[in-house]
A and B are shown apart, each in its own frame.
Chain A
Amino acid sequence: MTEAKNYMYRPWWKITGVLLLIYTFIAGLLLKVPALPALQETIRNLYFHVCMWFAMMILFTVSVVNAIRYLRNLDIKYDIYARQFAIVGIVFGILGYITGAIWASYTWADPNKPVYNSFSSIARDPKLIGAAIALLVYFAYLILRDSIQDIDKKARISSVYNIFAYTMLFPAIWILPRILPSLHPGNEGNPALDVKNDISGNMRMVFYPAVIGWTLLGVWITTLKIRISLLIEKKLTS
């Protein structure tokens, strides 16, 4: 692919992402939010914590698409794409997990007891376990990749594993947590996407731009990693 045609080198979407993030930070903190018991102002975490998971899901989707493209064409470039999208997706997943832990310790925990006393009831929440399983499956992807020396074998095996890891996401974070009772909101439908009885319209005005902004930031970081990998690849082959 020529550089002129590749979107990786275009600045317009990077600028869009940055502008959306600046908007998220300002509007997310200053706009009015519905006053809800227990949540109070922490509902603003919707623009940050939830967006991490949305960005992770989108990055993993791009990753698996590139894994399939590699298996179809056996072009090593697509394997590099798949790996870098997966690793940035994992970074976003870890950030989502950590921010969720902070949020939960101030909203789910019993305020009359120290936080660690509520730990057992929080830690057994199916949504947390599901997210942990999904992330661990992706950790295994990285370990599997880096344990194979031969470049073609590495690319082929990890592409197949990538498809497996992606399908594991669905039972782990989409299906199982909805069947089991959970403290986490969103059991009844699509969290934060239900137009009728979910977040107010005011919040959606920030939430959707926030998802796009965070995702674009993730993609930007990924393209930088891809470009470095392509440079190294070029040096090795030349």
Chain B
Amino acid sequence: MIKVLKNTGMLLILMLASITLIAQEKEVEMADTMRSNGRIYVVVAVMLTILLGLILYIIRLDKKISKLEKEN
């Protein structure tokens, strides 16, 4: 019985140890992706702003033309 308890205890300790290992590995990986991405999210934000700005402009044009069509 004691042997079984010892074994399960050992197993638990090992599992916990591996969990912290996984967690650590993830952390390291996160730092790597951020570094390899090199602030790519800034570029995404800038490009999206330009795209949305142009699209808002087209929407405005669309509305203006619709108004002209109604007047005629």
Q: Of A57-65, A72-80, A184-192, A227-235, which stretch is located at the interface? A: A227-235
Write the nearest CB–CB distance from A66 to chain B, whole angstroms.
Answer: 20
Contact partners of A29 in chain B: CB under 8 A: 40, 43-44, 47
Determine the main DSSP class of B at the interface with A: helix
Contact partners of A234 in chain B: CB under 8 A: 72
Write the nearest CB–CB distance from B66 to chain A, whole angstroms.
Answer: 8
**Contact of A235 with B48 at beta-carbon distance under 8 Å, contacts A224-B61, A224-B62 already known:** no
Contact between chains at B61 and A30 (CB < 8 Å): no
Q: How far apart are the CA atoms of A138 and B37 in the complex, in Å?
A: 41
Determine the main DSSP class of A at the interface with B: helix
Q: How far apart are the CA atoms of A3 and B51 in the complex, in Å?
A: 29
A interface with B by C-beta (< 8 Å):
3, 9, 14, 18, 21-22, 25-26, 29-30, 220-221, 224, 227-228, 231, 234-235
Contact between chains at A224 and B65 (CB < 8 Å): yes
B interface with A by C-beta (< 8 Å):
37, 40-41, 43-44, 47-48, 51-52, 55, 58, 61-62, 65-66, 68-69, 72
Contact between chains at A231 and B48 (CB < 8 Å): no
Contact between chains at A228 and B58 (CB < 8 Å): no
Q: How far apart are the CA atoms of A26 and B44 in the complex, in Å?
A: 6
